[in-house]
Amino acid sequence: MTDEDRELEDRLRALPTAGPPAALRERILTGATRRPRRRSLAFALCLLGLLALDLGVQQVQSARISRLIGGGSSSVAAGPNDLAAVMQQRAMIARLLRNGEMTR
Amino acid sequence: MAAFSRVEEAVRADARGALKATGRQAGLGELYDAHAAAAYRLLLAMLGSPAEAQDALSEVFLAVARRDLRRLRSPRAYLLAAARHQAILMMRRRRREIPTDPADPRFFDPAALDPDQALLARQVESALRELPPEQREVIVLKVYEELTFAEIARLTRTRPNTVASRYRYAVEKLRSRLKEEGT
């Protein structure tokens, strides 16, 4: 570095440079904190959705099981396949009783 | 019951996240106050457009906010490197050079310039625009951030000799340009 270089550097340094606008600071800080909160809120909502789905599936399954074992009233309407299965099972039990296979 | 405890845990985690976010905002605010001006200066010199420099600065700080601020060993060096990287990305994405008015100073603050300095500022700015970006960044890092050639080399991932020669070319061009203008 020569003296001429240093002199030029000093002249450049003496000129005030532009800074970022004041509003940008607020915008950046607000944006930076909003992002992670939005992400955790989305995660909580997603978890709630999964739980609701899990509860729904459990409800349907318990209704189907209670219908198949023939007890209680079901909150879900019986489908034709379920009815056919129950009828088939009853017929089979009746046939086994008739043949005496259940009492042996 | 297990379902409700899971939801409760998620809500608690959200509250913990909000607290952490407040702390992070304070840390980020301090980081911004200390180093945003330097990063913005580098972005402005490299990109030449205040709007682009502001967008780039936002991107840099939003990326920094996702990191653990306590783990930054040298926040200034990290921010300058991140700003440089962002400027390079944006320059690559550009389809054309942004036209700039030589009579409209952007790198220097027109409100803070003395009338005697205004002419010099315009000439320096116009001369800076004629330099290639890699020479412009060396000038800004050396003159305004007062980094050594070795530090600039680490930041720009080049050799110190390359940085020194870029600086020499840039200074010679600036000097001859200012001599031509008679300042």
Q: How confident is the model at residue B56 (pLDDT cuts 50, 70, 90)?
A: very high
Structure tokens at A89: 């099972």
Beta-carbon separation of A28 and B3 below 8 A = no
Q: What is the pTM of this model?
A: 0.65
Interval A39-68: pLDDT, tens? 778 888 999 999 999 999 988 888 888 777
Give the pLDDT of residue A20.
Answer: 92
List of domains in chain B: 7-99 (1.10.1740), 101-183 (1.10.10.10)
Q: How confident is the model at residue B126 (pLDDT cuts 50, 70, 90)?
A: confident
Residues whose CB falls within 8 Å of the CB of residue A71, separated by 6 or more in sequence, listed in order:
none
| Cβ–Cβ contact A25 with B under 8 A | yes
By CA distance, what is A38's nearest residue in B?
B14
Give the pLDDT of residue B19.
Answer: 46
As a whole number, the mean pLDDT across chain B is 83
Cβ-Cβ contacts under 8 Å, A37 against chain B: 14, 17-18, 21
Number of A:B CB contacts under 8 A?
A: 116
Transcribe A28-54 into DSSP letters.
HHHHHHHHHHHHHHHHHHHHHHHHHHH
Q: In a 10 Å sphere around its CB, with 0-12 CB exposed, 13-18 middle and 19+ buried, how is residue B165 labelled?
A: middle
How far CA A101 is from CA of A62, A87, A88, A93, in Å, comes to: 31, 19, 17, 10
Give the pLDDT of residue B179.
Answer: 85
- pLDDT at A10 exceeding the cut of 60: yes
Interval A60-100: pLDDT, tens? 888 888 777 776 555 555 666 778 888 888 888 888 888 87
Nearest in space to B122 (alpha carbons), one of B107, B134, B132: B107
| Cβ–Cβ contact A10 with B under 8 A | no
Beta-carbon separation of B58 and A40 below 8 A = no
Beta-carbon separation of A24 and B29 below 8 A = no
ipTM strictly over 0.90?
Answer: no
Interval B100-123: pLDDT, tens? 555 555 888 888 888 888 888 888
